[in-house]
Structure 1
Amino acid sequence: MQASTLNLFRYLFGVCVLLAAMMAAPASAQRENYIAADLVAESAPVPGETLTAALRFRPTEGWHGYWANPGDAGEGMRLEWHLPNGWEAGEPQYPVPQELELLGLINHVYKDPYAVLIPIEVPQQAAVANIAPITVDAQWLACSDRLCVPERATLTLRFPQTSADLAAQFDEHRAAIAPMIDASASFVITADKLRLAIPLPASLGLPDPHVFIEQKDVIDYSAVQTFTRDGDMLVAEIARGGLRAEPDALRGILAFGDGGDGVRFEASPGTVPTGGERIGPRTVDTPLAILLGGALLGGLLLNLMPCVFPILSLKALTLARAGGEERQARIEGLAYTAGVIIACLALGALMLALRSGGAQIGWAFQLQEPLVVAALLVLATLITANFSGLFEIPSLPIRTRGEGGAFATGLLAAVVATPCTGPFMAAALGAALLLPAAQALLLFAALGLGLALPFLLLGFVPALRRMLPKPGAWMETFRKTLAIPMGLTALGLVWLAWRLGGMSFAFAALALSILPVVALTARRNGNRTVAIIAVIAGLYFAASLPFRAQEQVASSESVLDPVTYSQEALAQARASGQPVFLWFTADWCLTCKVNEQVAIEREATRDAFAEAGVIAMRGDWTQADPEITRYLEEWQVAGVPLYVWYPAGGQGEQLPQVLTPDSLVELAQSGD
């Protein structure tokens, strides 16, 4: 079903719900209104001046009234004035409404007592001494969660005995009315969306902005509203909905948040800026079930990483040694899974906690810290040496049978497996930054379950264990072979330590990783003196590490000669009228490096970009960068890689996380 059909269905359904509710209203005309109302003036009338009247509503608990545009369902207020000759009532001025969702419909309502202010122009020659009563026939709709009742009343305007009687009350009423901005807004309407530019000082904070459009059937009231800042201009994008009316002018209220603050605006067709900095809370449109599936599949693929596959392989061989011990296999499978999931939950919870405290971080944030990288280097070096047979540590997780060793191995596998976001993981981990904490942690648990799934299946499916090779002397050779990918992982961490902390830091981290191996090997050979010297030297390098991580290393060279990413640089590149290819990478991201070798760092890509006039731009997230983190959040991804293509004069398009050799060449040649 197309979106326009769905919008029409929602509109008709809302009308049907409203009519059915109104038909169900009590027939008695003698009952009290569910929303009581009265009409009072701020002061006595003065010829030639504007008199302000307040139409005050007091909803009964559980009932609500409506704004001028009620939303998907409901009915706005209607007024018929009875005024002396020459007197004229102006447009009602409403407080900022609230959103209310009922039966999938979005309504604009007031649940608490509220006042609508109406300016009344008093003629210069008006006789105000003994004027006839001023009345208004008012009609409004009162609704609860289950019932809607049309209500009416003929209200007589009451004048205060003295001008000070209602001064304090009118101060509150006027403070609740959104003031009109002193500059005109502009808008552009397309078949799919409304883009609205509202002049607003950049210094004004907007924690949770929302636009209420007074004209009906212009926007989809349930659509996610996105906001960007372009200097002193706030730009809102809202999907179209309803009957898709196209008015020549727009009026509305920009609400600043849930506190009732906002401004009124009037907008006419005009230019609306593109780009800018994304503001306001983000939401997640993808169903949670799909996100959980992506996290599960992403975790499963992490088992292919060179630092995880050796650990998984040796743990699988421990089951082969166990023979037919069914109960033990299941216990180890569960213990390993528990270790993986707990580690993923701990990393996820730490990331969410740091973000809630204001830190601009994303997934794999731990690999942006030099000391964490040094600790991982020590661990990878010890595992490499163990695989190589230089020493044996009975308590090393990957060498221990039983639930304790399996649990510890699960912890280890999760820690070394989670640096990058690969296929399927990006959307899930990006959503985890936006979802409530409980749902976000559920995604991290699904990631851990995917990572642990191969070993868990081995533990619970005897047929899979029977497919494992029989124990034999070959296992020792196989273990030494697995030292190669672990050794390459250690070398990669040495390089990353250099990139993060500089040459002095990398040397100290390398020494710190080698000295424990020297100490353990010397102890194995009975040379206690060498072991003690190695321990002392290791303690020295460990103590000096925090003081060495001071150097900053520039980004690596690229055949595309990219511009360094910044918000200003991106705005300038897009304003040039040329296509822009923007990619975000990190030295610790394996997927990033593979894509760069396969698709980005190629002469064919460079030549295609040069011919099409493509501006290449790169954001290096090896070290923490809050500006890059904010941009990643705008695309609802938690980490790198991220590839975005901006066609000339167009909006950005996110590219797949796995690039093919000719994907960028074809994109540049297409001219899109």
Structure 2
Amino acid sequence: MAFFAVVCAGLLAVQPITARAQVADRVNHISADLGAAPITTGQPVHMVLHFVPDAGWHGYWSNPGDAGYGMQLKWTLPPGWTAGQAEYPVPQQLVIGGLMNHVYEGPYAVLVDLIPPTGAPAVNAPVKLEAQWLACTDTICVPEQQSFALTLPGQSAASRDYAKWRAAIPAPLDRAGTFAVAGKTLRVALPLPAALDLPDPHVFIDQRDLVAYAGSQTFRRQGDLLVAEIPLADTVVATDAVSGILSLGDGNGVRFTAAKGTVPAGGDLVGKGGGAADTGPLWLLLLAALAGGLILNVMPCVFPILSLKALSLARAGESDAQARADGLAYTAGVLLATLALGALLLALRAAGESVGWAFQLQEPGVVVALLVLACAITANFAGLFELPSLSFSRGGEQAGAFATGLLAAFVATPCTGPFMAAAMGAALLLPAAEAMLLFAALGLGLALPFLLLGFIPPLRRLLPRPGKWMETFRRVMAVPMGLTALALAWLCWRLGGAWFAVGSIALAVVAIALLIAALRQRQSGQRYAYLLLLAVIVPVTAGAQLLPRLYNDAPAGAEQGIIPAQPFTETALHTARAQGKPVFVWFTADWCLTCKVNERVAIERESTRDAFVKAGVVPLVGDWTRRDPAITQFLTAHGAAGVPLYLWYAPGKDAEVLPQVLTPDMLATLAGSAQPSAQSPASASPSPAPAQE
């Protein structure tokens, strides 16, 4: 027992020596050096903590982002001395498995001011520091630590480069900004000179867990004010102040603070996708818009409306003057509608509204109005009544052609996506004048075939000669127009629920019945026919006032199909990517015909489902049937003016934007080429290393 006690005592005696030897022998993957800048009497002592990561390794900013942890500094100073806040250079963004990390992948330095008491000498003062930090690669993370001890002035290699490291620290803005919370978005207004270039801005927030770090940030400029819009984290952290670093995108940045206040709406988009240089040549965008308008003439969503124009052109074939006037009136209607929609869209976005192209079909009132109009046109086609601007039994009238152009352009907007996505996305980023040119090019493309028919007689001679067949054709066209009315009734259900749809249909039926009765009285020469027309307006207006009471505020959500997709949120996307699995995200709307065709042809297929299950693909669907600011912001960040938008995330890679017209086997092929990867250790948040090993 005595011998055993002696052995144990010997082991305890050598244990501290062994531990110190292990610490001394360990080589950090991020080497560190501590030194002091030249000392000025009466001024704080500027300390420089210089780091050099090994190749493939990185350190972290004070707020590491979704993963990792920030550096911890423990100073041992002479009595009366204090240490200021650590100052960091502008960090870099590193996304691993869908998680955003704020890192430094090259040499960097953290500066700390040591403040001596008044009258105390700054030389010959002993300074000690215990520093702990996390060193990571894309696959592993290692907690590291190092002890420093020096006597001021404590010159080192880091000291000699103090001016260089000081220049890398972002300078503070001369004025504080303001911030406000709008829904799920943090909006920060910063005073920034308009002449300052912002190639790729990004805001790094000091406050932990306040924002979704990997969320898409949007920047708008109003003169010398920059407004940043950043998605909030799911669990909102209350704060009275916001601070951080605004990275300008070229390695430089500025430090800011912001207090609660008013943040103005609107402004011109800046940054990636925010300038004309990023959208491509304007002439190419104009050609794309013109071609998109031409192709709209054969889209099913526009065909029932264009049948009106086909009949009027066939009727006008006997008169060149009438054909030209008809073509010009139709073109004027189309251009007016597209320019008005474009101007309204730009105005709403400038006012801070989250809207995109075809926004009018996200408004229940607009859909109800279209439903009533579609029912009226169906009844007119079926011969139940004659309305002069919709009549085809007598000479052509420019009012009818103009009205047809307005209606065709209004209904055609949801079909523009597949053929002019780049042009419409650019229209939301370009200056207002250039954006309006794109909207005009779209309208001209839609009207061009009928404009050419009006001014080129040989083309008109290719049309069938007028005859009794026109009345038969008109009644046949009542079928697709009636189907359009049914589709609008279904959309009313998707937007506002079953009772809202029933009320909308009842309103349309009552309005058409009263309209038919009033018009028949007028056509029979009744004295008080115009009073009967007034009788149509009163019940329709009253019914419209009751409809909002039937509206269900709870969104219907995307219809569940063969693919078991989760609703899209940026948090769900980040979580899925963090699991190292392939992710497929698609954005759709019930009023988007192209979206529904793609879903039937390429997405909602058993072969696609089986390929997704085999590859472990996580499907997410964003339903944009109703207005959704979060989805609108995400679409804008990806240069999309509307739906459809299809994104494929291979494990560990950024998003691949897929074509807006999907082929049947495209998704199954992508799933077959992707395999889930193991979760990256860097995506975990290891606990800080203990003070002693």
| TM-score bucket (shorter structure) | 0.5 to 0.7
d(CA) in 2 for partners of 1:475, 1:407: 20
Letter in 2 for 1:344: T
Within the candidate set 365, 369, 393, 2:387 is matched to 393
**What are the superposed Cα offsets for residues 345-383 of structure 1, whole Å, 9 maximum, x if unpaired?**
100111111111111110111111111110010111111
d(CA) in 1 for partners of 2:562, 2:628: 24
Within the candidate set 504, 508, 533, 1:509 is matched to 504
Letter in 1 for 2:333: G
Structure 2 residue 378 is matched with structure 1 residue 384: yes
C-alpha change, 1:538 and 1:633, in structure 2 (3 Å) is: same
C-alpha change, 1:531 and 1:328, in structure 2 (3 Å) is: closer
Structure 2 residue 288 is matched with structure 1 residue 294: yes
Within the candidate set 288, 306, 309, 1:312 is matched to 306
Letter in 2 for 1:364: A
d(CA) in 2 for partners of 1:477, 1:655: 43
Structure 2 residue 349 is matched with structure 1 residue 358: no
Give 1:304 shift.
Answer: 2.2
**What are the superposed Cα offsets for residues 487-525 of structure 1, whole Å, 9 maximum, x if unpaired?**
111101101101111112111111111122212333455
Q: Is the 8 A contact 1:344 1:448 kept in 2?
A: yes
Give 1:398 shift.
Answer: 7.3
Within the candidate set 454, 458, 462, 2:457 is matched to 462
Structure 1: gaps of 5 or more residues: 1-44, 53-95, 97-118, 127-175, 183-201, 211-220, 238-252, 265-277
- What are the equivalent positions in structure 2 for 1:80-479 lying under 5 Å apart? 180=170, 205=188, 224-225=199-200, 227=202, 262-263=254-255, 282-283=273-274, 284-396=278-390, 401-479=396-474
Give 1:557 shift.
Answer: 1.3
**What are the superposed Cα offsets for residues 209-260 of structure 1, whole Å, 9 maximum, x if unpaired?**
99xxxxxxxxxx99943647686798999xxxxxxxxxxxxxxx966699x9
Q: Is the 8 A contact 1:227 1:236 kept in 2?
A: no
d(CA) in 2 for partners of 1:358, 1:314: 38
SS in structure 2 opposite 1:430? helix
Question: Size of the alignment, in residue pairs?
Answer: 454
Within the candidate set 637, 641, 647, 1:638 is matched to 641
d(CA) in 2 for partners of 1:208, 1:312: 51
The structure with higher relative contact order (CA 8 Å, sep 6+) is 2
Letter in 1 for 2:374: A
d(CA) in 2 for partners of 1:551, 1:499: 11
**What are the superposed Cα offsets for residues 188-224 of structure 1, whole Å, 9 maximum, x if unpaired?**
xxxxxxxxxxxxxx989476999xxxxxxxxxx9994
C-alpha change, 1:580 and 1:307, in structure 2 (3 Å) is: closer
d(CA) in 2 for partners of 1:379, 1:373: 10
Within the candidate set 550, 568, 580, 2:552 is matched to 550
d(CA) in 1 for partners of 2:445, 2:186: 45
C-alpha change, 1:407 and 1:203, in structure 2 (3 Å) is: closer
Give 1:339 shift.
Answer: 1.1
Give 1:555 shift.
Answer: 2.5
d(CA) in 1 for partners of 2:471, 2:649: 53
SS in structure 2 opposite 1:424? helix
- Which aligned runs of 4 or more in structure 1 are off by greater than 4 angstroms? 45-52, 176-182, 206-210, 221-224, 228-237, 253-258, 278-281, 397-400, 524-537
Letter in 2 for 1:381: C
SS in structure 1 opposite 2:653? coil
Give 1:408 shift.
Answer: 1.9
Q: Is the 8 A contact 1:207 1:280 kept in 2?
A: no
Q: Is the 8 A contact 1:497 1:509 kept in 2?
A: yes
Letter in 2 for 1:315: K
d(CA) in 2 for partners of 1:444, 1:369: 21
d(CA) in 1 for partners of 2:187, 2:466: 69
SS in structure 1 opposite 2:647? strand
Residue aligning to 2:582 = 579
SS in structure 1 opposite 2:584? strand
Residue aligning to 1:482 = 477
d(CA) in 2 for partners of 1:451, 1:319: 15
SS in structure 2 opposite 1:513? helix
d(CA) in 2 for partners of 1:304, 1:346: 23
Residue aligning to 1:101 = none
SS in structure 1 opposite 2:485? helix
TM-score, structure 1 normalization: 0.61
SS in structure 1 opposite 2:297? helix
d(CA) in 2 for partners of 1:458, 1:391: 29
**What are the superposed Cα offsets for residues 547-589 of structure 1, whole Å, 9 maximum, x if unpaired?**
2223422321121110110010000011110000000000000
C-alpha change, 1:404 and 1:177, in structure 2 (3 Å) is: farther
SS in structure 2 opposite 1:423? helix
What is the alpha-carbon root mean square deviation over aligned residues?
4.0
SS in structure 1 opposite 2:646? strand
Q: Is the 8 A contact 1:377 1:490 kept in 2?
A: yes
Q: Is the 8 A contact 1:505 1:548 kept in 2?
A: yes
Within the candidate set 529, 540, 543, 1:541 is matched to 543
C-alpha change, 1:586 and 1:507, in structure 2 (3 Å) is: same
d(CA) in 1 for partners of 2:357, 2:519: 40
Q: Is the 8 A contact 1:306 1:486 kept in 2?
A: no
Q: Is the 8 A contact 1:178 1:263 kept in 2?
A: no
- What are the equivalent positions in structure 2 for 1:23-38 lying under 5 Å apart? none
C-alpha change, 1:414 and 1:285, in structure 2 (3 Å) is: closer
Structure 2: gaps of 5 or more residues: 1-38, 47-89, 91-112, 114-120, 124-165, 173-184, 217-244, 257-268, 676-693
Give 1:606 shift.
Answer: 0.4
Letter in 2 for 1:571: H
SS in structure 2 opposite 1:435? coil
**What are the superposed Cα offsets for residues 451-495 of structure 1, whole Å, 9 maximum, x if unpaired?**
111111111221210000011111111111111111111101101
**What are the superposed Cα offsets for residues 304-357 of structure 1, whole Å, 9 maximum, x if unpaired?**
233422332332332322234223222221221111011111001111111111
Letter in 1 for 2:449: P
TM-score, structure 2 normalization: 0.59
SS in structure 1 opposite 2:418? coil
Letter in 2 for 1:579: P
SS in structure 1 opposite 2:587? strand
Give 1:421 shift.
Answer: 3.3
Letter in 2 for 1:484: V
Letter in 2 for 1:282: G
C-alpha change, 1:304 and 1:323, in structure 2 (3 Å) is: closer
C-alpha change, 1:535 and 1:225, in structure 2 (3 Å) is: closer
d(CA) in 1 for partners of 2:41, 2:535: 100
Within the candidate set 624, 627, 631, 2:627 is matched to 624
Between stretches 660-669 and 616-625, larger displacement belongs to 660-669
C-alpha change, 1:615 and 1:324, in structure 2 (3 Å) is: same
C-alpha change, 1:321 and 1:420, in structure 2 (3 Å) is: closer
Structure 2 residue 612 is matched with structure 1 residue 609: yes
- What are the equivalent positions in structure 2 for 1:56-75 lying under 5 Å apart? none
Residue aligning to 1:653 = 656
Residue aligning to 1:267 = none
Letter in 2 for 1:489: T
Between stretches 548-557 and 373-382, larger displacement belongs to 548-557
